[in-house]
Amino acid sequence: MIVATEYEFDAAHNLPNYAGKCERLHGHTYRLKVLCEAPVNPSTGLAIDFAELKKVVRSRVIDVLDHTYLNETIPIPSAENIAIWIWDRIAPSGLPLKEIWVHETPGCYVIYRGEGPAGR
């Protein structure tokens, strides 16, 4: 079973090594989807407790990034690097992550599946 939660956070950033308008300071309302995968526990009927998933994501990600200048936390805060950073913040919680979706603008997003250091 795949269990997913969605969030929004507002943040500013710039891409220092990018030759284009995104090298200048600007902001986004990011949309984040966190997907976990686990079998349904027959005694509870749940695969993942929504409350626990929300608690982890809010404390480890949303509360840290919302209304910040992302470059102070993630040196090159592209959508790709934001997704990797989020994965690395959630993974130690033990939640069975499947995918992280980071929507930078409507229709423009990245999907990260924890490919690991070699994929970075």
- Catalytic positions, please? 22, 67, 104
Report the Cα–Cα distance between both ends of the chain, in Å, rounded.
Answer: 28
Number of C-alpha atoms within 13 angstroms, CB side, residue 82?
Answer: 31
CA dist 18 and 73 (Å) reads 18
CA dist 104 and 94 (Å) reads 26
Cα–Cα distances in angstroms (integers) from residue 11 to residues 26, 28, 31, 80, in the given order: 9, 6, 11, 15
